[in-house]
Structure 1
Amino acid sequence: MLNLKIEPLKKEFIDIAWKRLNNLTKPQGSLGRLEEIASRVVAIYEDAMPEIKKKAVLVFASDHGVTEENVSAYPKEVTAQMVFNFLRGGAGINVLARHAGADVLVVDVGVDYDFSEINGLIKKKVVKGSGNIAKGYALSRDDAIKSVDIGIELVRECYSRGYNLFATGEMGIGNTTVSSAVVSVLTNSDVEEVTGRGTGIDETTFKRKVEVIKRAIEINKPDASDPIDVLAKVGGPEIGAIAGVVLGCASLRVPVIVDGFISTAGALIAYCINPLVKDYIFASHNSVEKGHKKALDFMGLKPLLDLNLRLGEGTGATLAMTVIEASLKIYREMSTFEEAGVSKNDK
């Protein structure tokens, strides 16, 4: 895991992209962030005329022992029930993935349920639910590393099958609680600053959630200088797997679109392992969860959308996928002044 070769983007490809962008039939800079996105995509692929071939949304599912502390509006059984919904194609992520022309790959990394052989489910279970962080570690260090390796391996496998644009998603009752703990430790933020209402909890439950996170950090003493230690002590396997996806994409030089708060906690783990991954990450949207902005700001990432989303599953990332694809279509298909026979502004 730690020996992955990740390199910064090469300026020569950024220059190639901007030379073409500035010669398209429009005032320079008039397509705003679409131009910035396209230039970065060119540099990521190291291809003057890149093409998005196949798109995948990797949705990692896991349960969390911290639900014993009554920190969520939903019971933990919902995690497994939603996995079945994903596989049937009936969830929000399925609808938006169909809209984006992306494949949804559902991965069990820690659901506290014994799934039979089901068509479409990728079984990579690390644990049957992580430990209750209010009482002890979420994962052993070995299991934390294993969860990261699962994300890396899945990206490599998908890449070998022609996928070259990835989005991250997740499902797991209780996972905003562990994500808040991870973000609090790694950004050195007060728990109150990074904790939101998740699935829509009331004020009493919210206060309990904050106290549970504080207790978890106090009991487990995660080391902020060691992201794997933080993942093991207060995180969860889907957060680790998402970190692995980010690391894997960066090592393969393909873009990765990170979804909301939980996915960004995973990206934050990857960033703290190797800050160079930032070049390969597109932050899809600004979640209602207030800890999300803290994590994005810490990494210096600016979200593409702000739609008051808080569903997770990869929904925001899949919407952003369409924006990234649009930016590349502008870059590839729009005529230059010379091609269109249009006079340039020489002033």
Structure 2
Amino acid sequence: MQESKITTVEKSLDEQIRKKIDLKTKPLGSLGTLEKIAFKVSRIQNTLSPQLNKPSILVCAGDHGITQEKVSPFPQEVTFQMVMNFLGGGAAINVFCRQHSINLLVADTGVNFDFEPSEQLLDLKVRKGTRNFAVEPAMTVQECETAMKNGASVIEKLHKNGTNIVGFGEMGIGNTTAATALLCKYAGYSASEASGAGTGLDAEGIQHKAAVIEKALALHTDTTDAVQILATFGGYEIATICGAILKAAELKMIILSDGFIATSALIAAHAINPHVTEYCLFAHESNEQGHKLMLQHLKAEPILHLGMRLGEGTGSAVAFPIIQSAVNFINEMSSFDDAGVSNL
């Protein structure tokens, strides 16, 4: 009885949201994707008057032992150098967060560098980089779970401070290789199907990356548990984001899913709890090879197609004002009755 009552209430709310959208002074469906966004945000917040409060993006950085296999044209030092760039306000994500008044948090989850203590940098370091998963698991399950709990803790604090919409970005040389391996393991794709250019590999480099991933998949063929898969192939930044996503969904926050690496964390979270995608808006489709496959796996419709593949949460930051527009129209746009306009 209780289940059918909940279903009836949910159906009633869905009908009310749809009616409110349809009765705005416009032809039916004429705001396209904005109407879908407005509906989903209203549904997540269980209200006809949704609000976006204190938007935040958490950028997690970590290093990867898989770089020992020469899967990236950039040296590992770029990870900590880019973290310094984030802290200095000079990266793309800084620019876009300033533009749209988004609170930006930067976390060291496992960078192979000793940072000076800073109020600007969240110290969530589990270890100085993962192990080489072509040889052994990248993390122990305990390390992975610690990273996940760290991510959940950040979200709990943001939620208590009033944030109800959160996105995630990342930085970590070698992490496209980790994300590709996760995609292959969780969704069943081959490494050749899923491997892309990452930070700028040529065709030969992509082929080499795919071969490294195939070798690793064969080495860890018995790994089947969702958390164990994340520990084996993931990174500390990916595990931290995964834990943050799970907590954000539990708290019924709106989750902005970004590009290839951040979505690999979402795929892991989805394997642990399939309901997490009910709270997600997919900011964009990355130009990285495997991201389209990730979106297909999650049955997701991206908001933007801009040919981006930078990471850092930049797609989520750029998509945010579109989400704001969707919320504004459902709250502020007149209905036919309000405006005295005839409704065909």
- Listed one character per residue, the Cα deviations across residues 41-76 of structure 1 (whole Å, up to 9, x for unaligned) are 011011221211101001000000111111111111
Between stretches 148-157 and 132-141, larger displacement belongs to 148-157
The AA in structure 1 aligned to 2:113 is Y
Query: 2:107 — aligned with what?
Result: 107
Match of 1:245 in 2: 244
In structure 1, how many angstroms separate the alpha carbons of the residues matched to 2:258 and 2:182? 16
Structure 2 runs not aligned, ≥5 long: 1-5
TM-score, L = length of structure 2? 0.95
Q: Which residue of 2 aligns with 1:279?
A: 278
CA distance in 2 between partners of 1:269 and 1:317 (Å): 19
8 Å CA contact 2:192, 2:207 repeated in 1:
no
Letter of the 1:32 counterpart? G
Q: Does the CA contact (< 8 Å) of 2:227 and 2:268 recur in 1?
A: yes
For residues 145-199 of structure 1, the C-alpha deviation after alignment (integer angstroms, 9 at most, x for no partner) is 1111222111111010111110110000000000000000110111111110101
Among the aligned pairs, what percent are the same residue? 39
Is 2:331 the partner of 1:332?
Answer: yes
Amino acid at match of 1:285: H
Q: Match for residue 151 of structure 1?
A: 151
Q: Does 1:341 align with 2:343?
A: no
| Deviation of 1:222 (Å) | 5.4
Give TM-score, length-normalised by structure 1. Answer: 0.95
Look up the equivalent residue of 1:10 and give its one-letter code: E
Q: What does the per-residue CA deviation read over 1:8-48, in whole Å, with 9 as the maximum and x for residues that have no partner? A: 99333322211110110001111011011101101101122
Per the alignment, residue 256 of structure 2 pairs with 257
Distance 1:177 1:284, change over 3 A: same
Q: Which residue identity lines up with residue 140 of structure 1 in the other structure?
A: T
Query: How far, CA to CA, are the matches of 1:208 and 1:52 in structure 2?
Result: 44
Contact 1:37–1:327 under 8 Å retained in 2 = yes
Counterpart check, 1:169 vs 2:169: yes
Residue 218 of structure 1: how far off its partner (Å):
1.4
SS state of the match for residue 54, structure 1?
coil
Q: How many residues align?
A: 338
- Shift in Å at residue 114 of structure 1? 0.8
Structure 1: segments with no counterpart, 5+ residues: 1-6
SS at match of 1:10: helix
Give the partner amino acid of 1:297.
Q
Alignment partners' CA distance in 1, 2:248 and 2:341: 39
Partner of 2:66: 66
Look up the match of 1:3: none
CA distance in 2, matches of 1:260, 1:214: 23
What is the 5 A alignment of 1:1-347? 10-221=10-221, 223-224=223-224, 226-345=225-344
Question: How far is 1:263 from its partner?
Answer: 0.5
- Provide, for residues 254-296 of structure 1, a one-character-per-residue CA deviation record: whole Å limited to 9, x for no partner: 1100110000000000111111111101111111112111111
SS in 1 for 2:44: helix
Q: Which whole-Å CA distance do the structure 2 matches of 1:86 and 1:314 have between them?
A: 12
Whether the 8 Å CA contact 1:56–1:104 is kept in 2: the answer is yes
Contact 1:13/1:42, CA 8 A, preserved across alignment: no
RMSD of aligned alpha carbons: 1.5
Q: Which amino acid aligns with 1:252?
A: L
Cα deviation code 1:91-147 (max 9, x no counterpart): 000111112210110011110111111231000111110111111110000111111
Report if the CA contact (8 A) 1:25-1:337 is conserved.
yes
Which residue does the alignment assign to 1:4?
none
d(CA) in 1 for partners of 2:81, 2:105: 16
**Cα distance in 2 between the residues matched to 1:328 and 1:11:** 21
User: Residues of 2 paired with 1:306 and 1:337: CA distance?
Assistant: 33
